[in-house]
């Protein structure tokens, strides 16, 4: 399939997806929207607080102004009444018209103070008293001013002045109580504002946390999906389609990853098909060569001299080795195709090692190898077949390279998080030049000395490669570590106890 065709199919697949009800246009737009949404409660609280503070400030200014006006006017009323009463009594004695002018001027000031108090929001009860005081003062003033025109002073003038003074005093007293009440109201409003700001701040923190968590999940979810897709592709799992939900640019990235997945799937299938076809094409003429060599070796076509016999033997051995290489290639290709699927179940690593030791008992006894093992019960989740293959390959490698009559060391232990396996032999170890590539497929180091029934035959080069790939498929790691106390090659495998909860 051509690149253009794949891209076209990718576009068609993307267009065929059901439309979502809503998704942000881009990751930047989502971040901006999230920032605005998180800032909105802060803005609302700031505006509400500013309005409440402004309202309280205005109310405070109004209260102070009214308190000053009430107090001043109440005092003016009492002072002017004193002046009016004094001038009236003096006029009663000396009959001086100038004293009436003083009385009249004080009356004007008195009425001005009354009008000023009436203009204030003093409440119906206090306003009624102010009006009655004004009326009583006018009645008294009219009587006294009439006396200045030849009439007589009111007979009950003393009683009227006493009544006015008492009313003015009560008015001053009521004004003081009104001011005190308004100050208490102001304090109550201030406490309410303080509580409003406190609860508003707590609510803002809680809202910001909830919005932050929700929006973070909204932003990080598609990123996590992409990370999971990349991990799956890295693990060779190309079967699961990629479906990223989120901003359009991340959805587009998911579509490209799905296109990459399909391309990798096609390439993997092509590689498998290529290896299979090449192996078949090689084995057919190789089989013919082996049959022909067998005929020559059996002298079917005539007797062979010593030199010809040697050449036939070399040709036969080389053909057999080539056939083994092709078989190894087919085997590795088949195992590669099995990496993407893990049949997970609860296992005990110690039991897997014990079972593998039992299967290799004949080889161990044949080479007089002693096994020192510590197999602690180590539960884990994994694919039994693949982990058994890991143990078998490591044990076979140790038996192969261990000198006759030497010792193998096996150690299985673990904890709540990891399961560990250590396999050590007393062989020559791995050469420094071979260490970097010891886990590479088809890489073969120096042949074992001492043999295990195969003389100095070099291995296939896929045993340790399979170990590495199967261990990494379980999110684990395998390491070649430095041996101690006469140890040769030492391999350590570390696996997560529960792959279902491991990263990736």
Question: What's phi and psi for 34, nearest 5 deg?
Answer: -65, -45
475 and 331 in one domain?
Answer: no
pLDDT of 323 reads: 79
- Which three-class secondary structure state does DSSP give residue 374? strand
Within-domain flag for 33: no
pLDDT of 18 reads: 46
412 and 281 in one domain?
Answer: no
- Which three-class secondary structure state does DSSP give residue 349? helix
Within-domain flag for 16: no
483 and 433 in one domain?
Answer: yes
Residue where one domain finishes, among candidates 315, 335, 355: 335
Which pair of structure tokens corresponds to residue 444?
Answer: 């073969």
- Give the CATH number, domain containing residue 322: 1.10.287
| Per-residue pLDDT tens digits for 56-102 | 888 888 888 878 888 888 888 888 888 888 888 888 778 877 888 88
Residue where one domain finishes, among candidates 335, 355, 385: 335
pLDDT of 456 reads: 41
367 and 292 in one domain?
Answer: no
Q: Which stretches does DSSP call E strand in 31-111? A: none
319 and 357 in one domain?
Answer: no
> What helix, strand, coil percent values describe the chain, rounded to 5?
65, 10, 25
133 and 113 in one domain?
Answer: yes
Residue where one domain finishes, among candidates 296, 319, 335: 335
Within-domain flag for 27: no
Within-domain flag for 3: no
pLDDT of 29 reads: 74
421 and 385 in one domain?
Answer: yes
- Give the CATH number, domain containing residue 445: 3.30.565.10
Within-domain flag for 425: yes
194 and 281 in one domain?
Answer: no
190 and 94 in one domain?
Answer: yes
496 and 388 in one domain?
Answer: yes
Within-domain flag for 22: no
pLDDT of 336 reads: 66
User: In Å, how far from its chain's centre is CA 206?
Assistant: 17
Domain residue limits at 253: 248-335
Whole-number Å distance between alpha carbons of 55 and 58: 5
| Per-residue pLDDT tens digits for 292-334 | 888 888 877 778 788 888 888 888 888 877 877 777 677 777 7
How many separate domains does the chain show?
3
pLDDT of 445 reads: 65
Instruction: Report the side by side order of strands in the sheet with 418-424.
Output: 370-375, 407-414, 418-424, 490-496, 477-481
The pTM for the full model equals 0.48
197 and 51 in one domain?
Answer: yes
């Amino acid at each position: 399939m051509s690149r253009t065709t794949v891209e076209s199919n990718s576009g068609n697949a993307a267009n065929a997806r059901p439309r979502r009800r809503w998704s942000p246009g881009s990751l930047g737009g989502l971040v901006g929207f999230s920032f605005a949404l998180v800032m909105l409660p802060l803005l609302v609280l700031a505006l509400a607080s500013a309005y409440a503070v402004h309202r309280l400030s205005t109310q405070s200014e109004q209260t102070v102004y009214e308190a000053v006006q009430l107090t001043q006017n109440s005092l003016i009323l009492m002072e002017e009444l004193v002046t009016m009463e004094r001038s009236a009594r003096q006029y009663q004695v000396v009959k001086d018209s100038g004293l009436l002018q003083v009385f009249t001027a004080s009356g004007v000031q008195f009425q001005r103070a009354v009008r000023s108090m009436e203009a204030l929001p003093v409440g119906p009860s206090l306003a009624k008293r102010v009006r009655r005081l004004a009326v009583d003062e006018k009645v008294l003033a009219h009587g006294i001013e009439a006396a200045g025109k030849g009439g007589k002073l009111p007979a009950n003038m003393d009683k009227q002045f006493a009544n006015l003074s008492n009313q003015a005093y009560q008015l001053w007293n009521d004004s003081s109580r009104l001011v005190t009440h308004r100050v208490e109201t102001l304090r109550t409003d201030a406490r309410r504002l303080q509580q409003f700001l406190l609860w508003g701040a707590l609510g803002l923190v809680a809202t910001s946390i909830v919005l932050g968590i929700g929006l973070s999940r909204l932003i990080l979810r598609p990123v996590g999906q992409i990370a999971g897709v990349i991990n799956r592709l890295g693990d060779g799992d190309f079967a699961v389609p990629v479906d990223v939900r989120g901003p359009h640019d991340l959805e587009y990235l998911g579509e490209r990853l799905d296109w990459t997945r399909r391309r990798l799937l096609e390439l993997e299938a092509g590689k498998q098909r290529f290896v299979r076809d090449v192996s078949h094409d090689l084995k057919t003429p190789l089989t013919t060569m082996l049959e022909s060599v067998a005929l020559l070796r059996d002298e079917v076509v005539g007797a062979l001299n010593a030199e010809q016999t040697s050449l036939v033997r070399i040709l036969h051995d080389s053909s057999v080795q080539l056939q083994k290489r092709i078989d190894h290639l087919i085997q590795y290709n088949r195992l590669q195709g099995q990496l993407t699927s893990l049949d997970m179940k609860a296992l005990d690593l110690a039991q897997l090692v014990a079972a593998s030791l039992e299967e290799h008992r004949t080889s161990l006894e044949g080479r007089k190898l002693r096994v020192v093992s510590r197999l602690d019960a180590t539960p884990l989740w994994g694919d039994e077949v693949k982990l058994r293959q890991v143990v078998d390959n490591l044990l076979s490698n140790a038996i192969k390279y261990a000198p006759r009559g030497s010792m193998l060391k096996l150690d299985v232990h673990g904890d709540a998080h990891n399961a560990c396996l250590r396999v050590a032999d007393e062989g020559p170890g791995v050469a420094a030049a071979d260490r970097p590539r010891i886990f590479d497929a088809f890489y073969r180091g120096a042949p074992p000395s001492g043999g295990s029934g195969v003389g100095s035959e070099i291995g296939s080069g896929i045993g340790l490669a399979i170990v590495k790939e199967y261990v990494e498929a379980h999110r684990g790691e395998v390491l070649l570590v430095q041996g101690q106390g006469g140890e040769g090659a030492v391999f350590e495998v570390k696996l997560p106890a529960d792959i279902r909860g491991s990263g990736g």
